[in-house]
Amino acid sequence: MNASETFDVAIVGGGIIGLAHAWRASQRGLKVALFERDSQAQGASVRNFGMIWPVGQPVGEPYQTALLSAKLWQELDKESVVEVAPCGSLHLAHHEDELAVLDEFCKLGSHQVEMLTAEQVKQKTALANPEGLLGGMWSATELRVDPRTASARIANWLEAKPSVSCFFDTAIAYADSGRLEATDGRVWNARQIVICSGSDLQTLFPEVMGSLDLRLCKLQMLRAVSQPDYQGLAPHIASGLTLRHYKSFEACPTLTSLKQRIADDSPKLDQYGIHVMASQFPSGEVVLGDSHEYGNEISPFDKSEIDELMLRELRNVIQLSDWTIIERWHGIYAKHPSEIVVDQEIKEGIRAFVGPGGAGMTLSFGLAEKSWAEWTGN
């Protein structure tokens, strides 16, 4: 390799945001270099439910971006890059106030959703706990991918393209004026540099990154053993607790009383940002979660109390034949308090594209497509 090789675009970060930018730039005929410090993505892009989750995005640009992103995920499925399952999602209601919020949300007409009776819910999933089940909400727009393999498969597919060069195990320590330098001394030139560094806000331009009002968020997750009664294409499951988490539901006035009930009955759920969801994969294993701790609350040590609270709440809304937990892990991502992502020009030819929060899998492709359409006028 020529050490002074020049690219149209250099992407720093091989997580889902970086991969999305590399893909959509290459689609426009640009010569792209993608740099990832590990052998493959190891951060939040592989430590999630594998949910593409448009229903959680508020009406307007966020929701439309999520739908665009879902369409692009399905393009990758057609290209046999990754398997993308059109599983849809169910929000379950086991309390009257949860049912009221879901009914109100459906009546808004902002999303592609419909109310279901308890019997209709049980017809769509064997995971719903029938005890106290009042009904639910169905959305057909959600997809499932395997987060543990998706990023690596997309990277391998991109690397096979003549317009894309991927440099793994390559940590970029310096970027400025169209020049990038790795920790091992290798150098590349690029006309445009896009920093997609995930939760790493310290390595490149730390002063700028520190000024972007981003917060780090830690989540804990679990994986339950394969269930013997797995039934084909299982929808994602969300609980009434989830209604507190996603901004799409903030348009519902009845949400206030639901939040107050949960705060009064179980303040620890708010303290740890717990809202429980489940996603069952073709293996029959079920990914469960999750929690949210921010900033100085983040510790390298996971809390057994959080896992126990999540499992307590999960047992209220879903039923498993076997609750044996075979894996536990945590992830960390960067999140802005109000923006869906931070797109910040650092200096001419260099910009940061960071902070999609927990919606990286849902929004990345749509965000990258819109950005490159704007940046290139194409």
pLDDT by residue (tens digit) across 149-190? 999 999 999 999 999 999 999 999 999 989 999 999 999 999
- DSSP, collapsed to helix, strand or coil, labels residue 376 as helix
* Residue 1 reports pLDDT greater than 50: no
Report residue 378's pLDDT band, with 50, 70 and 90 as the boundaries: confident
pTM: 0.96
pLDDT at 4: 66
The span from the CA of 152 to the CA of 144, in Å, is: 16
The model's pLDDT over 235-283, given as tens digits with 9 standing for 90+, comes to 999 999 999 999 999 999 999 999 999 999 999 999 999 999 999 999 9
The model's pLDDT over 191-212, given as tens digits with 9 standing for 90+, comes to 999 999 999 999 999 999 999 9
As a whole-number percent, the residues of the chain with pLDDT over 90 amount to 96
* Residue 111 reports pLDDT greater than 80: yes
Find all residues with CB under 8 Å of 102, minimum gap 6, and list them.
91, 93, 115, 135, 136, 137, 243
For residue 290, say if its preceding peptide bond is cis, omega within 30 degrees of 0.
Answer: yes
pLDDT at 229: 80
DSSP state of 243: G
The span from the CA of 340 to the CA of 238, in Å, is: 21
